[in-house]
Structure 1
């Protein structure tokens, strides 16, 4: 009984104390005459038609500010850089890969007979022989040859390969020269 009486008394005290606190802050009536001018701080944009006229007037005339010379220079340096590299990465169509030398020569001869427009190359990478067709920059370029050869040679596949660049010129070796003391 004592406990319930203490609980009721505590509850009544809490309820009555909440009414004692008043809200802090000003009343709305105090700000009734307030006004603020922020027009000086606002961003303004010019009329769109005026902007279009300015752009048309400032547009460069044909031939003025062209990047043709820069583009030619960039292409020339890109081409020179590629020529200085001995190998390039690409794709080839692998027709035969195996250790049987006779089978490799037979496959190469069949390619010569049946597909006269395709030139096969034969390589020996110990211990296997490879018969390859074509040098392509990307896989999509190799697809036509792949599909043509797939009918006759079912094991044909497209593989990544490295090719020696045609027209590659070895840089001149640096000679050892004695320095004067």
Structure 2
């Protein structure tokens, strides 16, 4: 029993210590690649020689005759741009909502503070639209429709001393009202 185990152990030791070829090393190339070259001429476009000769000038000093503006009809870029802008304005006429900013003045559980915030805005900022919401138990008051954050900052700076928790929030706004307030 000891002899077969000894023979097996010696065989395993010899196999383990030999410089055998492993699968992972056999697939690797030991040469270092120092330069890359590949023939890509088969992918290049081929032109007939006659076409090249027709486009190339025969004499480098030969003057080209100017073409009069009456002979050439040039389509103006501004005409194309005007058509595109007209299509965009027609598509945008029907849109009433877009992304913008509002100022959230109040968010809390007190109905009395909610009503006071609305009253203050109606009294001192009648030009701003008031958006109130209630999802039990929280009341929220948001005001204004602003296209950009700097527009909202103008009102925010005057409201911050009165409403300490007010902040500017991104929201869906009424675009027509936002343009009127500008």
Structure showing greater radius of gyration is 1
TM-score normalised by length of structure 2: 0.49
